Amino acid sequence: MKTRFIYLTLFLTACSASQPPDTCNAAPVCSEVRPDTAKSKLHFREHVSYPADRTQILAACAKTKEFSDAERKWFILNLPEGEYSTADEVITALRL
C-alpha cells in the first residue's frame, strides 16, 4: 500500500509540473521567444527558395539578422523534418 502511495505522489507531482497543451499556441515544443508571426511569414516568403528541406530553411534563418538567437532556437525546436514546397507549408508546420 505504501508503494502505491509513493507512485501516486510521484505521478501527481509530474503531472502538476506539466504545462497545459495550449501553451505556446499549440507548438510541439515551447521556447521562451516565439518569433513575430508577420515577420516570420515575410521571411519564409521572401528569403527561402522552394522546394526546401528543414536544413535549408533553418540555414536561411541563420543567415539573417532579423531574428534573435532565441527566435532562431524556437524555429529549430519547432520546425518538423520534411521537404516544403511553399512558404505556406512552412507556416502551417510552425503553426504561425
Please, is 58 exposed, middle or buried when counting C-beta atoms within 10 Å of its C-beta (0-12, 13-18, 19+)? middle
The dihedral of CA 18, 22, 27, 28: what is its sign?
positive
Per domain, the residue ranges of the chain are: 34-96
d(CA 49, CA 60): 9
81-92 pLDDT, tens per residue? 999 999 999 999
Q: Is the pLDDT of residue 56 over 90?
A: yes
What pTM did the predictor assign?
0.66
